[in-house]
Amino acid sequence: MTTRRTLLIASALGAASASSVFAHSDEAHADKAAPAKKEQKPWGIAGDDKAVKRTVTFTMTDNMRFTPDKLTLKQGETVKLLIKNKGKVMHEFVLGTKKELDEHAALMVKFPTMEHDEPYMAHVGPGKTGQIVWYFNQAGAFDFACLMAGHYAAGMVGKITVLADSELGSTSSPDKAVTVWKTPNCGCCKDWVSHLRDAGFQVVTNDVSDTAPIRQKFGLPAKFGSCHTAQVGGYVLEGHVPAQDVKRLLREKPVAIGLAVPGMPMGSPGMEMQDDMLGVRDAFDVVLVNADGSSRIFQSYAAKAATKSRIKS
């Protein structure tokens, strides 16, 4: 615990001498002119804006949930976390280990007006946006949470997995961590995830009731929609995109939102035939979606007819 935090807690314990400087308001804390204090933590250290290679946006709502609530990163990444409060009450985003967050949340229950301010925290008022720039130089499984009194207990928590180089496979591409949003009972989505894992990607899945809001949040036009949405290396993947095209995207690094296979074409990865006719494939295109919503063909796949029939016993 830092000296500043210790002093703040000591002040909270001495409630009679506590002044309004320690009180939480309903607005985000003012940005400081001084650079963030850099202190190594088990989950990393404050990062520099000029080192940011990836930006991830989180939303917070009054149903006490984060979207997304899981994130996978590569050890050594400096990431800008943009935190949007879409609720009507104050929320916050605090990085840490579960032990640290448990202890801090317990203090917030006892002293709800205690101010806490560290570079791994963002206190965001209703309708506002905060940010954290963090250098994830430690591999492991970490947590984030809103520690406002009652919010943590209501389940306002999430997970961040930071993978070491040894966990990313032998491929030379550094971008192997994929986060997927899908509906719980989508079998073809699960098969696509297996396809990516077989290709060497590290995949974390999130079950949601509807993927359309995720797609919209990432700025992908509805006309490119399919049954699941994913992120990898700062790009969006929509639908049954072949792993070889994902690897090419990460290798070439075009300026774009990402790749999409609109609809659910038969024979695309995860949509292979499982019954009598094997090897059937509809013709389909993988499209590269630009920031303005326009697109171009990234890769085309020709149709295939049945090559064999399963013999029934």
Answer yes or no: is pLDDT of 33 > 90: no
pLDDT band at 213 (very low <50, low <70, confident <90, very high): very high
* Separation CA 87–CA 49 (nearest Å): 27
Answer yes or no: is pLDDT of 134 > 80: yes
CB 82 within 8 Å of CB 131: yes
From 27-41, 114-128, 181-195, the region with the lowest mean pLDDT: 27-41
Name the strand (E) or helix (H) holding 157: strand 157-163
CB 286 within 8 Å of CB 261: yes
Give the chain's mean pLDDT. Answer: 82
From 24-33, 93-102, 105-114, the region with the lowest mean pLDDT: 24-33
Whole-model pTM: value is: 0.50
CB 93 within 8 Å of CB 60: yes
Answer yes or no: is pLDDT of 108 > 90: no
**pLDDT tens-digit profile of 241-262?**
999 999 999 988 888 999 999 9
Answer yes or no: is pLDDT of 32 > 50: no
Task: Give the pLDDT confidence score for residue 170 in this predicted structure.
Answer: 42
The CATH code that applies to domain 3-163 is 2.60.40.420
Over residues 24-30, mean pLDDT: 44
Task: Give the pLDDT confidence score for residue 168 in this predicted structure.
Answer: 53
Answer yes or no: is pLDDT of 30 > 60: no
Enumerate residues 6+ apart whose C-beta is below 8 A from 21: 115
Answer yes or no: is pLDDT of 5 > 50: no
Listed by start position, the domains of the chain span 3-163, 168-309
Over residues 153-166, mean pLDDT: 86
**pLDDT tens-digit profile of 253-301?**
888 999 999 999 998 999 986 544 456 788 999 999 998 889 999 999 9
